[in-house]
């Protein structure tokens, strides 16, 4: 093999955010940009020589080209073996499954997840460790530091590798194994859930579902698992073919971007169950007939019903939720007598808790739910979990949620996103809040009184690492909360996220529209943070 050493100069902006390094595709595609980051990664993990790596992505534009580069650089770094999904495809949770099942040293996942794709869209790269989960901040920081002083990268020269035929081939001393992207993942799902029971529900002809693959990675997984293994009728999966530009859509499963599914679910002949996933397959949106389940409620409901599902019938060790996620799961944990952990936003903070056996289920308000079966959030897994519960309980989605509220109370919840606002103004808004933290405590706003206000800081219970400035919390005496933070996944400007929550135990008050139930708190958020002034926006871009 001929390895070429190429002289480079550092790019100073290669700092991974909430989930890997995400930039405009045009940034990634410029000469040396991807190469610099990959070399920084390989330099940070010199022990990867001789080991196995897993590589795959969500199929977006530049995925294939990036994989060819990564394979050639891995060969130059003397990596022993690389498992690649056929066509360069692997959903994020499937990559996690393959890393764990094949005891790989780690994996490189190419995705910008819910961000739009294409030549003028976004691209991303993320490193996962031996446990199958996103690398801890200590590693991503080390990669970033390395990238700032990089002077050269090494790459094998030679023709492109065939990624479309299953089987092993050699790139000099390195073996490349092209694997089925779906099989290992589907097998694990079959092991966790009662496929026979779910299949019987589909075959009865009395239960219909619609799954929106959003022309992103989960289409092939949905076809194999839902339509083939579970015998749901053909056509259950819509927009199931992965396209390089995701069909021009925004692969974010929320009420705005999954509007086709939302319309179907509110039509006269709506199916019983609707679900959607995001670009890389780790998110899930759950819908009943004319009924939206908030991700926070979904996590709480999965926890409360876990005993009905084979993979979880022996009970849960604990639950973890990200700080902005509603407190609904905490109430289930309290009743089950297990711990509920509150972590910063981003799946990497769940890894230690899962590895240490402290939690079984975890979730985020941003349509992410998962368990200790992998170390990523897992979209289809959540859908199958719901299907298993529906097959056992034989009730509608709505009646399951309403029963849950009657028993545990309802956490009214909403997130308001202000996308692509001016970065400096967004920073000023946050700084303005930090300056008010002390004076806010004890202050009254109408019927609310602030119990405490802080900038969330997290001490990992396993390795005791401390992560600071993870979001402004304004917590009221009655437990209602306003949380504000800036996104760490955007690629242009800043995105402000405002999370609003209040608890309602009274069954007669549980049927309001969330925006109405939360109107006072939304007003307080505006009053305290001066969102309109700083963002220059009259209303949020997306309301969930
Ligand atoms: C967002 C979500 C966060 C999630 C992250 C990655 O981050 O809020 O909960 O873990 O995306 O999800 P941020 O920093 O933009 O709020 V994915 O599906 O984009 O990997
Ligand atoms: Co995602």
pLDDT in tens, 320-379: 999 999 999 999 999 999 999 999 999 989 999 999 999 999 999 999 999 999 999 999
Q: C-alpha 79: how far from its chain's center?
A: 28
Give the closest residue (by CA) to ligand 1 atom 8. Answer: 366
Nearest CA to ligand 1 atom 18: 113
**Active-site residue, selected from the candidate residues 40, 96, 111, 113:** 113
321 lines ligand 1 (CB under 6 A): no
Exposed / middle / buried, residue 192 (Cβ in 10 Å: 0-12, 13-18, 19+): middle
- Return the pLDDT at 1: 67
The span from the first CA to the last CA of the chain, in angstroms, equals: 53
Measured CA to CA, the distance from residue 36 to residue 151 in angstroms comes to: 9
Tell me the ligand closest to 366's alpha carbon.
1
**CA distances for 370 relative to 120, 321, 361, 380, angstroms:** 31, 10, 6, 10
Asked if 496 and 486 count as a contact pair (C-beta separation under 8 A), the reply is yes
Residue 339 to residues 147, 395, 456, 475, 534: CA-CA distances in angstroms?
39, 29, 19, 21, 39
Gap from CA of 91 to ligand 2 centroid (Å):
9
How many CA atoms are closer than 13 Å to the CA of 525, on its beta-carbon side?
A: 29
**Relative to the CA of 282, which ligand 1 atom is closest?**
18
CA gap 112, 108 in Å, rounded: 13
Is residue 58 within 6 Å of ligand 1 at its C-beta?
A: no
pLDDT score recorded for residue 458: 97
Provide the H-helix boundaries in 358-484: 379-393, 397-408, 423-440
Residue 284 CB less than 6 A away from ligand 1? no
Would you call 363 helix, strand, or coil by DSSP? strand
| Cβ of 497 below 6 Å from ligand 1 | yes
244 φ, ψ to 5°?
Answer: -60, -25
CB 381 within 8 A of CB 189: yes
11: its two tokens: 């790019």
113 is catalytic: yes
Task: Quote the ligand 2 centre to 203 CA distance (angstroms).
Answer: 31
The reported pLDDT for the residue numbered 424 is 94
pTM for this prediction:
0.93
The answer to whether residues 326 and 297 touch, using CB atoms and an 8 Å cutoff, is yes
Condensed to tens digits (0 to 9), the pLDDT of residues 127-180 reads 999 999 999 888 999 999 999 999 999 999 989 999 999 999 999 899 999 999
Q: Is 114's C-beta closer than 6 angstroms to any atom of ligand 1?
A: yes
Give the residue ranges of the chain where pLDDT is below 50.
Answer: none
Indicate the burial class of 497 (C-beta count within 10 angstroms; 0-12, 13-18, 19 or more): buried
Q: Which distant-in-sequence residues (6+ apart) come within 8 Å of 14 by Cβ?
A: 21, 36, 37, 40, 143, 144, 147, 148
How many whole angstroms separate alpha carbon 146 and alpha carbon 149? 6
State the Cα–Cα distance between residues 65 and 59, nearest whole angstrom: 11
DSSP at 376: S
Measured from the Cα of 345, ligand 1's closest atom is 9
Q: Which two tokens stand for residue 238?
A: 């819509």
Bridge partners of residue 277, in order along the sequence = 284
Residue 536 · residue 425 · CB < 8 Å: yes
Q: Which two tokens stand for residue 111?
A: 């995705």
Return the C-alpha torsion angle 193, 196, 198, 203, nearest 10: 160
* CA dihedral (306, 311, 312, 318) positive or negative: negative
* DSSP of 262-305: HHHHTSTT--SEEEEE-TTS-BEEEEETTEEE-HHHHHHHHHHH
Predicted local confidence at residue 112, as pLDDT:
93
Q: Please check whether residue 131 is in contact with residue 100, taking contact to mean a CB–CB distance below 8 angstroms.
A: yes
Residue 73 — φ and ψ, nearest 5°? -75, -35
């Amino acid at each position: 093999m001929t390895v070429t050493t190429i002289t480079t100069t550092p790019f100073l902006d290669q700092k991974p955010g909430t989930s890997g390094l995400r930039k405009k595709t045009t940034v990634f595609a410029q000469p040396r940009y991807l190469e610099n980051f990959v070399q920084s990664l390989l330099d940070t993990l010199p022990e990867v020589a001789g080991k196995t790596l897993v590589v795959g992505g969500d199929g977006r534009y530049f995925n294939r080209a990036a994989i060819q580069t990564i394979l050639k650089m891995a060969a130059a770094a003397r990596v022993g073996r690389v498992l690649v999904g056929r066509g360069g495809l692997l959903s994020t949770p499937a990559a996690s499954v393959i890393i764990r099942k094949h005891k790989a040293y780690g994996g490189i996942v190419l995705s910008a997840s819910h961000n739009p794709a294409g030549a003028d869209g976004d691209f991303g790269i993320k490193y996962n460790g031996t446990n199958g989960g996103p690398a801890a901040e200590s590693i991503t920081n080390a990669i970033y530091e390395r990238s700032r002083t990089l002077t050269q990268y090494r790459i094998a020269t030679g023709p492109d590798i065939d990624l479309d035929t299953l089987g092993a081939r050699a790139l000099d001393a390195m073996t490349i194994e092209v694997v089925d992207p779906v099989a290992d993942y589907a097998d694990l799902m079959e092991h966790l859930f009662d496929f026979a029971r779910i299949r019987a529900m589909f075959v009865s002809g009395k239960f219909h579902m619609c799954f929106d693959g959003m022309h992103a990675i989960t289409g092939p997984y949905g076809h194999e698992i839902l339509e083939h293994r579970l015998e749901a009728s053909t056509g259950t999966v819509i927009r199931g073919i992965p396209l390089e530009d995701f069909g021009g859509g925004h692969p974010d499963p929320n009420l705005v971007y999954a509007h086709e599914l939302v319309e179907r679910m509110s039509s006269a002949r709506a199916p019983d169950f609707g679900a959607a996933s995001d670009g890389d397959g780790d998110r899930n949106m759950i819908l009943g007939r004319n009924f939206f389940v908030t991700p926070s409620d979904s996590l709480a409901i999965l926890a409360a019903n876990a005993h009905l599902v084979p993979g979880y019938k022996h009970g849960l060790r604990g639950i973890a939720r990200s700080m902005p996620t509603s407190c609904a799961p905490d109430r289930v944990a309290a009743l089950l007598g297990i711990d509920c952990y509150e972590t910063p936003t981003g799946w990497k903070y769940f890894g230690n808790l899962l590895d240490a056996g402290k939690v079984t289920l975890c979730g985020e308000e941003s349509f992410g739910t998962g368990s200790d079966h992998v170390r990523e959030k897992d979209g289809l897994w959540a859908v199958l979990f719901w299907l298993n519960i529906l097959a056992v309980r034989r009730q509608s989605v709505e009646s399951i949620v309403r029963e849950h509220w009657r028993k545990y109370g309802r956490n009214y919840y909403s997130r308001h996103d202000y996308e692509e606002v001016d970065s400096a103004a967004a920073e000023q808004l946050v700084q303005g809040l930090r300056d008010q933290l002390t004076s806010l405590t004890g202050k009254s706003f109408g019927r609310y009184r602030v119990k405490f206000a802080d900038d969330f800081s997290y001490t990992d219970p396993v390795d005791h690492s401390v992560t600071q400035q993870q979001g402004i919390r304004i917590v009221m005496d009655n437990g209602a909360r306003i949380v504000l933070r800036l996104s760490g996944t955007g690629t242009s400007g800043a995105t402000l996220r405002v999370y609003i929550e209040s608890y309602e135990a009274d069954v007669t008050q549980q049927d309001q529209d969330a925006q109405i139930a939360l109107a006072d708190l939304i007003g307080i958020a505006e009053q305290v943070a001066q969102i309109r002034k700083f963002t220059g926006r009259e209303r949020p871009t997306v309301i969930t």
